[in-house]
Every structure is written in structure tokens, then in C-alpha cells.
A = this chain, B = another copy of it.
Amino acid sequence: MDFNAIKMAAERIHKQVHLTPVLTSQLIDQALGCDCFFKCENLQKVGAFKARGACNAVSLLGENEAAHGVATHSSGNHGAALAYAAKLRGIPAYVVMPSNAPQVKKDAVAAYGATIIECQPNLPARERELARVVQSTGAHFVPPYDDERIIAGQGTAALEFMAQTADLDIVIVPVGGGGLLAGTALAAKGERANVLVYGAEPAAADDAARSFRSGQRVTEVEAKTMADGLRTTLGQANFVVIKSHVDDILTVSEASIVVAMKLLWTRLKIIVEPSSAVAVAAILEHKKIFFGKRVGIVISGGNVELSQLPF
């Protein structure tokens, strides 16, 4: 897949998603030692960039494929995104969610009219339950990240970002399954060949960093991070793109994630989930790389349980 896939996705979904704003803050620039531009995908439909990939994937379905709706398993934003995209198309959505998924994320999926199927909180149970749902409903499975339609959709955020913000030296985004990072790398380098693209990952879930360094995709990780959106391992299609288009993956401590999250809340006045703060934490921990540069950060989402803040 290539830059063109992103441009076509952008044409396809532009009426279904928000053109999200880019925010700046002098006080954050002072704290981080570089000029920061924040692409606010927390202000996107369903509160996360995931709306882009889901809309692209659902738009691409033929009539027959879409006839019985769509299904996925998700502990978070992808479930709400698919529910939103399905609602726009007027087809049913089935979302398998672990029983311990945050209430705020269950509420979001339900608000868009999807059917929630609860399962035990582990990957085999999720896959088993999803297979059963697909079997019994005939719904089309839309994976959360390991899918070229999803990668292309997620890349549209960076495409907009490059048009909104001139002369970025670096773009940095969080990496979990790798949909956002792969799409961002294709889009940013397609628009501006010499921009550097970094992934940011919790050290406590560093499968992407280890995969990137070794060239072999790590498929198991303990993932004891507060950044719940980044606990998954890198997808296969995602790793192919990331290996060839990303410059490096930086890891961060849990403590830095909390500092970064608080900085964003207090200075940008926006609600970001821990996963979104990981990219800012990477700047905090690796200041030399970013010093004096024009840095674009994609704020990935804002779905957080307000009663359980880490500060």
C-alpha cells in the first residue's frame, strides 16, 4: 500500500469525520524545548482517530459484504468507531467487548446503536466470541488495526495535519497495533519526503520498539501500561509499512506518561487519554532529538474514565 491509498481514503471519508483543529501552546513549547503542533483527534467523532479507519473500511464494503452488518472485537475506541461508521451506512454493528472494558467505552459503543457482546477479558475468548458472532449473523469482520483499509483511514489525520501546518520537521504518534503509525508514516512522507516520523510506546508494552529494532515482529508482550489503547501488539500489515517508513520508535516510562497527560490537560485544556500522552512523554524523555524542531503530535483520543484519573 502507498500514499495514494491515503489520499483516496481522505476523499472517501471527508464528509463523515471532523476536520480536527491543530492547537499550540507557548508554555508547552517552553517546557519541551521545541515548537509543538497538536492535531486533536480527541476532538474527532467518537473521540478518537479510529473513526477514520472504520469509516474508510465500512465505505469500501460492497453491497453484499455490508448486507449483514459489521463485527469486531475491541476494548476501546475501535468498537465505538465501527458502531458510528455502521450507523452512518445504516447497517448493524456487533462489538465483542471484554467484560472489564471501561464503562465510558461501553457507553460510547451503545450510544451509536451497536449490539455489545460481552466476553472474558482475554484474547482467545474475544476471538472465539467474535467467530461465533460472525458465524451466526453473517456480519463482515473489520479488524481494529491489522488491515490496509484501516491503515489508510488512520493516515488521513496526518494528511490533514501536513496541510494545516507548514514545514514540520518531525511527526510523532503513539503506537499500539500500528494503524495510526503506519498510516501517518505513509501520509507524512508522501507529503514531505524529508520529514522524520517516530512512534512513541510505553516501555511497559514495548513490542513495537523491539520488533522495529530486531526486524522480527514480536507478538507477545505483557503490557502493564496505563495507556490502555497501546496494550495490543503490532499488526502484520502495519509492521510491513512501519519497517520501511518509520525512523524510530521511542519508549517512555509510566511516570512520564502521567506528567505529559497533566501538561496537556492543564495547558491545552483538552481531555486526552493516557495513550495520547505517550507521544508527548517521548519528547520529555528524549529532548535532544526534538530540540528547536517543528514537531507535529497526533493526539489520538480523549476517552477516559473521569473518575479514575492518574493525578
Contact = CB atoms under 8 A, between A and B. Distances in A.
A166 interface: no
A15 interface: no
Interface string A282-311: 000000000000000000001100110101
B269 A42 contact: yes
A42 B311 CA distance: 21
Contacts of A268: 43
Contacts of A309: 306
Contact of A265 (B266, B271, B272, B311): B271
B302 A269 contact: yes
A23 B41 CA distance: 12
A104 B18 CA distance: 31
Interface in A85-140: 104, 111
Nearest to A302: B269
Contact of A306 (B265, B302, B307): B265
Interface residues of A, number: 24
A194 to B, nearest CB: 29
A47 B269 contact: yes
A215 interface: no
A240 interface: no
A270 B265 CA distance: 9
Contact of A271 (B18, B271, B307): B271
B302 A311 contact: no
Contacts of A18: 24
A229 to B, nearest CB: 14
A61 interface: no
A67 interface: no
A303 B27 CA distance: 15
A89 to B, nearest CB: 15
Nearest to A104: B266
B306 A43 contact: no
A269 B269 contact: no
Interface of A: 18, 21, 23-24, 27, 42-43, 47, 104, 111, 262, 265-266, 268-272, 302-303, 306-307, 309, 311
User: What 4 pairs across the A-B complex have the smallest Cβ distances?
Assistant: A269-B302, A21-B21, A269-B271, A42-B269
26 contacts: A18-B24, A21-B21, A21-B43, A23-B43, A27-B111, A42-B269, A43-B268, A43-B269, A43-B270, A47-B269, A104-B266, A262-B306, A265-B271, A265-B306, A266-B306, A269-B270, A269-B271, A269-B272, A269-B302, A269-B303, A270-B270, A270-B271, A271-B271, A306-B309, A306-B311, A307-B311
Given A23-B43, A271-B271, 5 more contacts: A43-B268, A265-B306, A266-B306, A269-B302, A270-B271
